[in-house]
Amino acid sequence: MSKSTSLRIRVSTTVTGAHAYLLPSSPGHPCRRRNFVYGTLGDLRQLFTDLLTGHRLGRTHMEQGDEWVYRIRDDAPSERVRIAEIQKRKQSFRVDIEFLDGEKAGQRENVPGKRLRAPWASVQRYDQLMSDWARLRACTLTDVEDGAIETVFRLLIPTETAVLEWDPVERATTVTDPEELEKLIGRPIDEVRAECESFELDSTCVLSPIGSLKISEWACQVNPMRVLDWVLEEEKEARHRSKYGHADRGRGGAEDSVVPAEQDHSFYLKYQRPEHELLRQWCGHRAVTLQERLLAAEAEVHRLDVLLASVVKHLKVSGDTHFAESLMREHVEDQVTPTNLRPVVERPLAWWDVPSPPRPRFRGRWF
C-alpha cells in the first residue's frame, strides 16, 4: 500500500465485534470497497491510528530497539520510548518499553501495543494531527441535531461525495468530492469552512460537527421535498405504533418481544418529533420551489371557492335548496387544512377513554 494513498475506514459494529472496510479515496475518484477487516473495536481503533500515520496493518514493522511515540490516551502528551521486547499473543500484543525523556527516563513498563502510536521520526506530524482532531472534537451537537444530520446524509449526501465519520471525532465530515458537494448544498466549500473548524488530511478536507450541521441545513434548502416526504412517512409509522405498538424481532435466536404503544409514543415525543421539527425548519420556506408551489396552491383554492359559491347560488335560485346546502356543508366540513393534513400522533387509548358497550335490555314477555 503506497504512502501517498489517502485512506478512509468504514466501520459497522456488531454484537461480537465490528467490520471495517478500507476505502481509498482521492479527489474525483469514486470510493470502492477494498480489503475487508474483522476484529474487536479496540483492534479497529488501533488500525485507524496506524493508517493515519501511514503504516501497514499489523505489527511486523515494529522491531526491538525502535523509538516510538507513546500515549496512554489520545489526549495525553507524546512521550519518546524505546522498544525493549515485543510479546505477541493471539488477538493482541504487549510491549516492554523504556522511557527516554523526562522524569520517567530509564523506567521500563509493560504496556498494550495500541499505546504506541507512531515512529518517533513522525512525532511532529502525529502531534499536529491529534491537535487538529482535538479542535474538531471541541465542537459538540445535541442528540436532535445528531439524528437530523445522520438522516440528511443518508437521504441527500452520497458517500462518494462526503462521509460522516464516527471516529476519532463523531459526526465530523470528510469531503472527498468538493465540487459535487457544492452542487448539493448550493454554496462553495470555502463558505462551509468559514463557519466551522476544519483541516486538511492528505489533500482531503475534514470538517467539524458544526460543518456537518451546516451541510445538512443547506442541503435541505436545495432539495427539501425528499426530506419532507421521509418525515411524513416516519410520522405515519409513528402514529400507527403509538396506537398499536410493534413487535421487535429477536436476535441470535431469541424470541420476538412486543413493545407497548405507550413506550413507542414516549420514544416519539422524546426523539422523533424534535428531529422532525428541526428537519422541517431546515427545509422551511427558504426553498424557492416549495414556496412557489404553496402560493400556487393557495391561489387555486381561492379560485375554486369563488366558483363553488357561484354554483351554490345558482342552485338556490333554481329551487334545489337542499342539494345546495348539502354541497356547501360538505365543502366546509371536509376542507383540507394544515392541521388535518399532517399526521397527528396521539397517545394510545386507555381503558377509561373507550366507551362501554351498550347493555342489552331484556323486557318481560306477556302471556
How far is Cα 348 from Cα 239, in angstroms, rounded to an integer? 9
Supply the angle between the helices 224-244 and 143-156 in degrees, to the nearest 10.
120
Report whether pLDDT(286) > 60: no
User: What's the pLDDT score for residue 238?
Assistant: 93
Mean predicted confidence (pLDDT) in 94-116: 87
**Cell digits for 289?**
420551489
Cα-Cα-Cα-Cα dihedral sign, residues 33, 35, 41, 42 = negative
Angle at 8 between CA 147 and CA 199, to 5 degrees: 75
Distances (CA, A) of 31 to 7, 27, 294, 302, 328: 10, 10, 39, 51, 60
User: What's the pLDDT score for residue 362?
Assistant: 66
Write out pLDDT tens, residues 190-219. Answer: 999 999 999 988 888 999 999 999 999 999
Q: Give percent of the chain with pLDDT exceeding 90.
A: 26
Helix (H, G, I), strand (E, B) or coil at 338: helix
User: What's the pLDDT score for residue 3?
Assistant: 38
Q: Amino acid letter at 153?
A: F
For residue 305, what pLDDT band results from cuts at 50, 70 and 90?
A: confident
For residue 151, what pLDDT band results from cuts at 50, 70 and 90?
A: very high
Q: Give percent of the chain with pLDDT exceeding 70.
A: 80
Task: Share the mean pLDDT of the chain.
Answer: 78
Backbone torsions φ then ψ of 311, nearest 5 degrees: -65, -45
Q: Is residue 13 within a helix (H) or strand (E), and if so which, with residue range? A: strand 7-13
pTM of the predicted structure, to 2 decimals: 0.65
User: What's the pLDDT score for residue 104?
Assistant: 84
Mean predicted confidence (pLDDT) in 66-73: 88
- Which of 343, 341, 340 lies closest to 240, judged by CA? 343
Mean predicted confidence (pLDDT) in 90-114: 86
Angle at 289 between CA 284 and CA 293, to 5 degrees: 90
How far is Cα 348 from Cα 258, in angstroms, rounded to an integer? 15
Mean predicted confidence (pLDDT) in 165-169: 84
Report whether pLDDT(80) > 70: yes
Residue 23 CB: number of other CB atoms within 10 A? 19
Is 245:234 a contact under the CB 8 Å cutoff? no
Backbone torsions φ then ψ of 204, nearest 5 degrees: -120, 135
Give all strands of the β-sheet with 18-24 in edge-to-edge order.
7-13, 18-24, 36-39
Residue intervals in the chain for CATH 2.30.30: 60-136
CATH 2.40.50 fits 60-136, yes or no: no
